[in-house]
Structure 1
Amino acid sequence: MNRFIGFIKKEFYHILRDRRSLFILFGMPIVQVMLFGFAITNEINNVDIAILDHSKDVNTKEIINKIATSKYFSIKGFISHEDEIESTFKKGKIKAVLNFEKDFGKNLVTQKKATVQILTDATDPNTANTISNYVGSILQNYQQELNKGLNMPYQIVPKTRMVFNPELKSVYMFVPGVMTIILMLVSAMMTSISITKEKELGTMEILLVSPLNPIQVIVGKVVPYILLSIINAAVIILLSIFVFKMPVQGSLFLLGAESTLFIVNALSLGILISTISSTQQTAMMISLMGLMLPVILLSGFIFPISSMPLPLQLISNIIPAKWFIMILKGIMLKGVGLAYVWKETLILIGMTIFFIALSVKKYKIRLE
């Protein structure tokens, strides 16, 4: 019995000395609870909206002020003409536009009825529907305040239009997200075990004595997987178009170029993981646990980033999948060109260069 108790103590000491085991036991559950607790929400907060006010009377100003003072919306601009609505949405920041009809206040008094149009970016149908409901609730509350003590009540009629996805098809949201997850995880996992496999098989010595410099080894590891992942991306896009009837409003060439850029980004991240991992098992664990949760929760694929706490919003900026999903939705659903997605493209290019440079540096350190 004493031997058995001693064996148990030894196992406790072994676990407590192993930082990786402690992180898996205590760190990962805490991280997962925090991420799921704060990131998963169906509510909206500080959603950016724009106003098109044809009337500019007392009533519209009161409604705008009521919306601005709520925690749900942040008014980011006023547009002057309906022709600006589409370009405003294509920029990707504004999620809704409130369009007040001409003579809104006058119609409310004379006809007891006035109309406001709620236009939402329905590339994310769940968020668009939630925004419409929240705006409708604020309008209804304002209407009730106006009708206190009146025999003939005023009626504010909200008319909702879902832009880019009028039928609110959920596939419009899931296809870009699933494509991003597949390309990120498959590409990163394929490359994350490449260098660690060389170490475990004992073939690293061959690379050490070869005339290839670190950058050539890194690029050589990535190139075959780039070609295979491009084929993977092409299959996903074809399935999206012909099976799920996902439209591609923009340039197929630009879509292909951006997909290739993201593939290179994911592969370079996988190479970085492989250079800092000592075994294939460690590399696989980092790829799965370190990439899957952030990609799903912090990329804006399912849950709106604007509704998350500020620290998570800041962290989301270093998730490459966030920027690629924005690019995919812009090209496929909004039909935008490079002029609208240049910032996201530059961010992905910068991340890719950073991952490759860091991989080369880590590779040098380990081989010296």
Structure 2
Amino acid sequence: MKSLIIAWKDFKIRFTDRKGFFLMILFPILLTAILGSALSGVMGEESLPKTTVGIFQNDHDQIASTFVNDVLKGKELNDLVSVKKVDSEKKLKSFLQDEKVDVGIVIPSTWSKDLQQGKLKQVKLIVDPGKELKGTIIETILQTFVNRVDTISSSTKIILTNSAPFLSPSDMKDLSTQLIGSLEKVASSNSNYVKQGSVGKKQVSGMQYYAAAMAAMFLLFNVMNGVKSFINERETETLARLMSTPTSKFSVLVGKFLGILYFVIAQFSIFLIVTHLLFQINWGDNILQTILVAFAYSIAVSGLAMLFAAMITNSKTADTVGGIGVQVFSLLGGSMIPITVFPKTLQTISNIAPNKWALSSFIDIMSGTTWDALFLPMVVLLLIGMVSVTIGTWRLQVK
């Protein structure tokens, strides 16, 4: 009971602070409106990014020409791909360095020489390190084409082998010619090499993404706000006076934890309601999923506040660590720039950011996901919270 009284007292102090209310609730709503409107195209509300492909083709191999002229330059990819031919691999690399092309393809001479044996020579794909998404698109197109050619080539070989005992040499020659013609026709046919879509049932808009991103980022600020609240009470000896009462240390610390948790939950609830009413943001068809992920994230944030309160003893350090830490986690977690544009290594490192788990879960819910897909993120967030509050409470009790 005493823990609840302490928690309610802390919550009221923070909630009635006008400056804090603006920074923690109104400011993220304002940023959501600005970023969601200005950067909506990032989230796929527009078409996939157009990619300029540099091609160095060593000779006039028929399959290579089919790939370049009928696939990359075909109608199906006209809005997605533009092609620049170069006369050497060195020049192709120079174009990449000068950003005249986004992706380079080096097609070896006699690319289809070994096609009758069921394989094509290896093609070299060169991608600008900052344009992995475009590289992935072109790699998908190339691999799809190669797989189709390999499949039809293998089928042709089987047909010719099985037909040989029953056909005359001239008939075999005619059949071979027809099959090769079919091979070229199918390889160059207009197929959907790349199709736009979303991971879930629905595509997430830019406004939806940045609503989730701002929620994840600004809830994270509560870690340092909780730390500074502890420091302030230490410096004013409020905490010492509270400890001198019959109230146990455990009750005091639980109350401080719950006070942070109450504010985080209230902050998210207000943000969710306001963004839905003002910007018609759909937080997902299953609101229970959103609530439970938000609750798990609130536990993580409140736990981290307790952990850092045990480690930081002065306001100056709290401001420095808080400012840098929150910004780093916000960047890593995708609150500033979508994680999908990061290199793969950085995407892996981003798993250390608690806001990444919350943000990715909110986005999944918005696009339509199952409970199974949310199990791991919620467990991770709850573990972060429980481990942090356990260590933090133990360290604070020792002091």
TM-score (norm 1): 0.55
Q: Give 1:263 shift.
A: 1.5
* 1:349 corresponds to: 382
Verify: 1:212 aligned to 2:247, yes or no.
yes
Task: Provide, for residues 145-195 of structure 1, a one-character-per-residue CA deviation record: whole Å limited to 9, x for no partner.
Answer: 99xx9886723422513124877732233222221001112x213211121
Verify: 1:272 aligned to 2:307, yes or no.
yes
What SS does structure 2 have at the residue aligned with 1:217? helix
Q: Using the alignment, how far apart are the partners of 2:204 and 2:296 within structure 1?
A: 29
User: Are residues 266 and 167 of structure 1, via their aligned partners in 2, closer, same or farther at CA, if it must alter by over 3 Å?
Assistant: closer
Q: Using the alignment, how far apart are the partners of 1:362 and 1:278 within structure 2?
A: 12
Q: Give 1:139 shift.
A: 4.5
Q: Using the alignment, how far apart are the partners of 2:236 and 2:297 within structure 1?
A: 30
Verify: 1:323 aligned to 2:357, yes or no.
yes
* 2:34 corresponds to: none
Q: Using the alignment, how far apart are the partners of 2:235 and 2:313 within structure 1?
A: 8
Map 1:201-240; keep pairs closer than 5 Å: 201-240=236-275
Task: Provide, for residues 225-248 of structure 1, a one-character-per-residue CA deviation record: whole Å limited to 9, x for no partner.
Answer: 322322221222123333333323
* 1:180 corresponds to: 216
User: Quick check: 1:188–1:269 contact (8 Å CA) kept in 2?
Assistant: yes
Q: What amino acid maps onto 2:263 in structure 1?
A: L
User: Quick check: 1:172–1:246 contact (8 Å CA) kept in 2?
Assistant: yes
* 2:318 corresponds to: 283
* Aligned positions, number: 237
Q: Give 1:133 shift.
A: 5.3
Map 1:301-340; keep pairs closer than 5 Å: 302-304=338-340, 307-309=343-345, 312=346, 315-337=349-371, 339-340=372-373
Q: Give 1:353 shift.
A: 0.7
User: Are residues 249 and 215 of structure 1, via their aligned partners in 2, closer, same or farther at CA, if it must alter by over 3 Å?
Assistant: same
User: Are residues 172 and 278 of structure 1, via their aligned partners in 2, closer, same or farther at CA, if it must alter by over 3 Å?
Assistant: same
Task: Provide, for residues 307-346 of structure 1, a one-character-per-residue CA deviation record: whole Å limited to 9, x for no partner.
Answer: 332xx55543332112112221222221433x33112111
User: Are residues 243 and 127 of structure 1, via their aligned partners in 2, closer, same or farther at CA, if it must alter by over 3 Å?
Assistant: farther
Q: What amino acid maps onto 2:382 in structure 1?
A: I
Q: Using the alignment, how far apart are the partners of 2:207 and 2:332 within structure 1?
A: 18
Q: Which has the larger radius of gyration?
A: 2
Name which structure has the greater RCO, CA cutoff 8 Å, separation 6+.
2
User: Quick check: 1:323–1:348 contact (8 Å CA) kept in 2?
Assistant: yes
Q: What amino acid maps onto 1:330 in structure 2?
A: D
Runs of at least 5 residues in structure 1 that lack an aligned partner in the other structure? 1-62, 64-125
- Bigger strand share: 1
Task: Provide, for residues 38-83 of structure 1, a one-character-per-residue CA deviation record: whole Å limited to 9, x for no partner.
Answer: xxxxxxxxxxxxxxxxxxxxxxxxx9xxxxxxxxxxxxxxxxxxxx
* 1:358 corresponds to: 391
Q: Using the alignment, how far apart are the partners of 1:179 and 1:165 within structure 2?
A: 23
Q: What amino acid maps onto 2:218 in structure 1?
A: I
Q: Give 1:142 shift.
A: 7.6
Q: Using the alignment, how far apart are the partners of 1:167 and 1:344 within structure 2?
A: 21
Q: Using the alignment, how far apart are the partners of 1:305 and 1:140 within structure 2?
A: 25
Runs of at least 5 residues in structure 2 that lack an aligned partner in the other structure? 1-66, 68-130, 153-179
User: Are residues 212 and 286 of structure 1, via their aligned partners in 2, closer, same or farther at CA, if it must alter by over 3 Å?
Assistant: farther
Q: Using the alignment, how far apart are the partners of 1:245 and 1:361 within structure 2?
A: 44
Task: Provide, for residues 112-162 of structure 1, a one-character-per-residue CA deviation record: whole Å limited to 9, x for no partner.
Answer: xxxxxxxxxxxxxx998875455235546889999xx98867234225131
Equivalent of 1:193 in 202, 223, 228: 228
Q: Give 1:222 shift.
A: 2.5
User: Are residues 327 and 155 of structure 1, via their aligned partners in 2, closer, same or farther at CA, if it must alter by over 3 Å?
Assistant: same
Q: Using the alignment, how far apart are the partners of 1:196 and 1:137 within structure 2?
A: 59
* 2:4 corresponds to: none
Q: What amino acid maps onto 1:234 in structure 2?
A: S
Q: What amino acid maps onto 1:136 in structure 2?
A: I
Q: Give 1:347 shift.
A: 1.3
User: Quick check: 2:227–2:306 contact (8 Å CA) kept in 1?
Assistant: yes
Map 1:1-368; keep pairs closer than 5 Å: 131-132=136-137, 134-136=139-141, 138-139=143-144, 154-158=188-192, 160-163=195-198, 164=200, 169-185=205-221, 187-299=222-334, 302-304=338-340, 307-309=343-345, 312=346, 315-337=349-371, 339-365=372-398, 367=399
Instruction: Calculate the aligned-residue CA RMSD, in Å.
Output: 3.6
User: Are residues 253 and 303 of structure 1, via their aligned partners in 2, closer, same or farther at CA, if it must alter by over 3 Å?
Assistant: closer
Q: Using the alignment, how far apart are the partners of 1:233 and 1:167 within structure 2?
A: 23
Q: Using the alignment, how far apart are the partners of 1:170 and 1:248 within structure 2?
A: 13
Q: Using the alignment, how far apart are the partners of 2:138 and 2:274 within structure 1?
A: 33
User: Are residues 213 and 250 of structure 1, via their aligned partners in 2, closer, same or farther at CA, if it must alter by over 3 Å?
Assistant: farther
Q: What amino acid maps onto 1:161 in structure 2?
A: Q
What SS does structure 1 have at the residue aligned with 2:281? coil
Q: Give 1:278 shift.
A: 1.5
User: Are residues 131 and 217 of structure 1, via their aligned partners in 2, closer, same or farther at CA, if it must alter by over 3 Å?
Assistant: farther
User: Quick check: 2:132–2:341 contact (8 Å CA) kept in 1?
Assistant: no
